[in-house]
Structures are given as structure tokens and as C-alpha cells.
Amino acid sequence: MEQFKYSLSIKTLCYIIAPILLIMLLTSIGSTLYVAEEPDITQTSSFVETKRFEQIYKNCLSGLYHNALQTNRENEVINSEPSETTQGESNIYINHNNQQYYFEGSLKFIIETKDNKIYTNISSLTNENINKIKTEIEKQDFYWTKTQNGIITNLVQEETNNYYSLEDSENKIYSFLIKDYVSTDTYKSENMIYQIAKSTYQGIIIYLPIGIVGLSLICVYLIASVGHKKGREDIYLNSFDKIPTEIAIFIIGILYIIMAYFAMRIAQSIINNLEQFAILALIGAIPAYLVTILAFVTFVRRIKSHTLLRNSICYRIIIKIIEFIKNMKITFRTAILYFMFGFITTILILERDSGWNLLLLIGMWIVCGIYILNRVIEYYKIRDFIQHLYEGNEVKPLNEVEFKGEFKKLVLKLNDIASGFSNAIEKGIQSERLKTELITNVSHDIKTPLTSIINYVDLLKKENLENDKAKEYLEVLDKKSQRLKKLTEDLVEASKASSGNIKLNMENLNMKELIAQEIGEFDEKFKEKGLQIIKNFTEKDILIYADGKYMSRILDNLFSNIAKYALPNSRVYIDANMTTDGIEIMFKNISANQLNITANELMERFVRGDVARSTEGSGLGLSIAESLTKLQGGSFDIYLDGDLFKVVIKFKKIHQNH
């Protein structure tokens, strides 16, 4: 069944069959209502046998009679020029008893008044042939005459003499209907409705259930399948479905209004032609049906995707108002209390005659003062709590009983945050301690056999080995063991530096001298790589308060990093300056390898500048330098700009007599 939900051909077929079933259903219902109003349809074989036909004939004849007599113009007498309403083969519109009838010359009449005037719509009527036409009237299919001999008619229904007050008139009336005279008129349209209702009512036992069941099944299927598209799990929405609901309703309403306007204009122009009216009505129903499908599909999709309300302008406005009220709840409440207090205070001040008013006023001031003071105390407790929490200090949960209203809700959330924050810090400290212990223990375990390896390598180097291959292998062992020793030492130092497990011997240091000393130690390596050191120092001594041993290690790591990864035959800039905030030392060089990592990634442990890891090093130098700098109260930052590598170290400025 799942594949039917995504079938476009089945959906299209349903949209085609639906209007057919709808017409079948509406026709069946209309026929049922027509038969309920005109029950004789089941006992008659033609429209002329029904009471409805007789009623139409009566109303039309009565309307013609009164129109002719009330007009009473000379040009309505025979042998005069034919008028637009009652004489000649002219169209006749009759509005009688709030019902409109239309005959295009098919209803013929002759009225002889008591003063010998004649009103007629028979253009061929003359004084010579009037008697002949009167005689031939009784040969017509449907006629009704009233003379001095009474009423003569071939209409078969009962109460044929009750033609409104025509039988009371002293005038003579002759009328007959030519049923096949024109293509369309009230008689023919009513006859067509009669035939459709009769045939439909005869088959209503089939048409009605088919229409109801068929439409119900199609509606259920379309509601279930609309919005589903093959290859998608969610409800598919097109561009029209995404516009606000009110705008969609407005667009659909405008389309219906436009179609209704044009339908009325066309209907007014062709109301006298039933065939044209039916054809154009069928053609006009197509765009109306397409708009109905558009409305049905878009509203079903919106309902199924839960966007009918959420995508409406009114809903968004209401949500904004609710959010505004929520955000302004405390302020709004405070404003109300403030104005109430001011209003009551004003009344009490104006009514100064009573001494009780003054006491009541003082009592209100005391109560409001206590209330405001309590809220201020609650605010400061929360502020101090947040400040301690922000600084990472250990905090005790606030007592929820001491707070009221919105402050109490805020305290509950802050206590939860503090509890989670404390747990996270405790777990972080425990994890860091375990990592430090692991590194220390592993390094110690590695160091013991490594020392033996290094010692035995030294002993082998003192032996006079004649095998050149053995000497080559021994050199490799010596080199790799020394590198492993350096890595082990760096691991231990990095672990101690990151955990702060280092004893510092703080003193005043002259960074100009310390940097110059380190440059001298790396002078040979810099020359081998063709690196030119360019120093930019201030004339005054640059003093910092730090540990000389670990500052030397920081500089050693930085210069070692420069010697390994700087572009050969390039320049290295070292700037040391005093700023308003303190001391700033900057190292800049161009990297030999492309730096495809961020500064934060480069600061991670075991990350090295060359991705190929062809150079010697553990990848811990920068991490150790950063940790040692922070332990001494400084900051260590790395900046990458293309291939430019820059390190900035900052310390607080001290005075000579520190």
C-alpha cells in the first residue's frame, strides 16, 4: 500500500474522477429535492403534465396581462408600431411573485379590452385575420382563453380556472404556447431540468451510493497521499505552501472573486441561450476546480506538516506578544505594583483629615520598603553566587527558601548549573591527574630500560668493532635512543608543566640578556640553515619576574622550533618591547613547510609543523613552553598568517626594586 501513496498517476486519476462523481452526487441530491418539491414528476411522462408547467404558464400569462394593461400606450394597439415589450416577435421578461420568466416570443397572447382596444405580441395580427387566429388557438398544443362563454383550455391540471384574477376581468384573453418556437426559453430550460431530474431520480439508487462511496474513497486517499513524494520521508512543501496562511487564503479568495465576476458578466450576456450558458459554465468550472484543488492540496500539506497555524501571520504575532509578556512579566508586575502604590498613596495624602490615613500611609511605606529591601538582598546574593561561579571558585548551593517569585525560579536553575559545573571540574581534575600519573609512570618505566640501552650502546662504542655494518647499526641505535630519552624527558616535563607540579624560583630577569645568551647557543644551528637573526629591542633593560631556569627552557624550545622548521636562508625577527600593559616579546619566522593547521591545533601535544614528521622532535615543545609561561603568570599566543609563524609572549611589567 505504501507505493500507492507516492503514485502521481493515481493522484491525477483521482483528480479527474472526483468532479464526475461530484456532479453525479449533486445531480442526485438535486433530483431528490426537486421530486420532494414536485412529487408529480414520478406520475407524469412529460413536463407539460406537471403542476409546475401550469404554474409557469399561469404566472407568465398573468404578468403579460397586467403589464399590457398598466402600460396602456397607443402604440400597443394593433396596427401600430410594435413595442419592445408586448408587441411583435420580441423577448419577454416577466417578474411575477418574485420569480423571473423568459419567453422569446413563444408565448402568444391577444387581449381585447372592454373599450375595444387590443394588446398583442403577434406581429401578423390584423383586423382581417383576428377572428381566424382566435379560432385556430384551440388547435394549439397549450392554450388558455377567457371569453364571455367562460374559460376554455386544454391544460389538464386541476384548478385551471384560478389564474390569479384573470377570470374576474371583463376583458377577453386569448393565449397559447408554441413549445418548439425557439431554442431556449423558460419552458425549454424547465423541460430540460424536468428530464434530467426524472432520469436521475430513476437511477438514484445507483448514482447516489456510487457518488458518496467514490468521493469518500478519493478524499481519504488524497488526504493520506497529498504531501508525500517518492524519496522523501517528510511532508513535501512547495513555494506556495511556504507563504503565510493568510496570504494563501487571500490569493485563493481573489481567484474565486475574479472567476465569479467574469462568470456573472458572461451569464448576463447569454442568459437567453441555455446551450451556450451550459457550455461556458462547464468551461468556467475547470479553472474553479483547479483553484479548489490548489486550496485543498495546500491546506492538507500545511495541516500534515503542522504549519497551518505556525506559518500564519496571526500565530506569529500572538507568539511575539506571548514572548513579550513573558520577558516583561517582572517589569509589568513591578509597574502595576508601583502605580497601585502611587494611586493609594495619593488618595491617602489627599484625605489628610483623618489621623488613621497617616498611620496607614506610614505602614504602607514600611511594608514596601521591606519588600524592596528583601528583593535587593536576593539580587546581591544571586550576583555574588554568579560571580564566584564565573571565577571557578567552589560555591555552596543557594537556599531556595530564602527567595520568592522569579528569583526562586532563577535560583533553582543556578543551583543545577553549579552542581553540574562542580561535577565537571571534579571529573576534569581527576582525569588530568590520572593522565599525569599515567605519563609519569610510563615515562619512569621507559626510562629504566632506556638507560640500560644507552649505557650498553656507550660500552659497544668503546669496543673496537671491525664490522662497518655493526658500527652503522650502533650509530642508529645511539641516535634513536637519545631521541627516545629526549621524548621521555619532554613527556615528564610537559605533564608537570600542565598540572602545575613544578617548584618555581621566581626572580627578576633581564630578557635582553637571556635572549642574547640563547641566540649565542643556537648560533651554529642558525648559520647551518642560513637563518639571519634580526633583533629589535628597546634601549632600556626589559625586566620580568620569572624563573630563570624555565624561561631558558621556553626560549630553548622556541629557538629549537625555529631551527627545525624555519625556511632556510630566511630572516628571523625577535622584538622585545615595553607596552602599557607590560612586557611583550615577539618571535617571527617563515615556515619551510606549508601550515595547513590552525594555531590551536599547533598548540596541541604531539602536533608538529611538518606533516611528514621528517624532522626530529616530539611535538611537545610549544605545549611545554605555553604551560611554563602560564605557570609564571605570562601569556603565550601563536598566530599564523599564511606561512608566517609568530609567537607572542607577554609578562606583567615590574620595577627595578621588585
Q: In three state form, how does the secondary structure of 425-459 look?
A: HHHHHHHHHHHHHHHHHHHHHHHHHHHHHHHHHHH
Weakest-pLDDT range from 205-214, 298-307, 580-589, 602-611: 602-611
Q: What pLDDT is stored for residue 131 in this prediction?
A: 80
Q: Can you name the residues that pair with 544 across neighbouring β-strands?
A: 509
pLDDT band for 76, please (50, 70, 90 cuts).
very low
C-alpha cell at 186: 423558460
Weakest-pLDDT range from 174-178, 193-197, 480-484: 480-484
The pLDDT of 92-102, averaged and rounded, is 52
Q: What is the pLDDT of residues 405-426, one digit of tens each?
A: 777 888 888 888 877 777 777 7
pLDDT higher at 181 or 266: 266
Going from N- to C-terminal start, the domains of the chain cover 38-182, 328-395, 396-501, 504-652
Residues of the chain with pLDDT > 90: what percent? Answer: 5
Alpha carbon distance 102, 438 (integer Å): 107
Q: What is the pLDDT of residues 14-27, one digit of tens each?
A: 888 888 888 888 88
Q: Are 225 and 11 in contact (CB under 8 A)?
A: yes
Q: Are 151 and 145 in contact (CB under 8 A)?
A: yes
Helix (H, G, I), strand (E, B) or coil at 123: coil
Checking if the pLDDT of 571 tops 90, the result is yes
Q: What angle do CA 54, 56, 61 make, to 5 degrees?
A: 95
The CATH number assigned to the domain with range 504-652 reads 3.30.565.10
pLDDT band for 250, please (50, 70, 90 cuts).
very high
Q: Are 111 and 118 in contact (CB under 8 A)?
A: yes
Q: What pLDDT is stored for residue 154 in this prediction?
A: 78
Q: What pLDDT is stored for residue 116 in this prediction?
A: 76
pLDDT band for 90, please (50, 70, 90 cuts).
very low
Alpha carbon distance 291, 304 (integer Å): 20
The Cβ of residue 647 has, within 10 Å, a number of other Cβ atoms equal to 22
In one-letter notation, the amino acid at residue 533 is I
Query: Do 504-652 and 396-501 fall under one CATH topology?
Result: no
Alpha carbon distance 654, 76 (integer Å): 126
Backbone dihedral angles phi then psi of residue 175, each to the nearest 5 degrees: -150, 150
Alpha carbon distance 562, 584 (integer Å): 19
Instruction: Say what the pTM is.
Output: 0.41
pLDDT band for 629, please (50, 70, 90 cuts).
confident
- CATH topology for 396-501? Helix Hairpins (1.10.287)
b/e string for 92-127 if b means 16 or more Cβ within 10 A? bebebeeeebbbbbbbbbbbbbeeebbbbbbeebee
Checking if the pLDDT of 97 tops 80, the result is no
Q: What pLDDT is stored for residue 75 in this prediction?
A: 37
pLDDT higher at 295 or 389: 295
pLDDT higher at 361 or 319: 319
Sign of CA dihedral 624, 628, 633, 636: negative
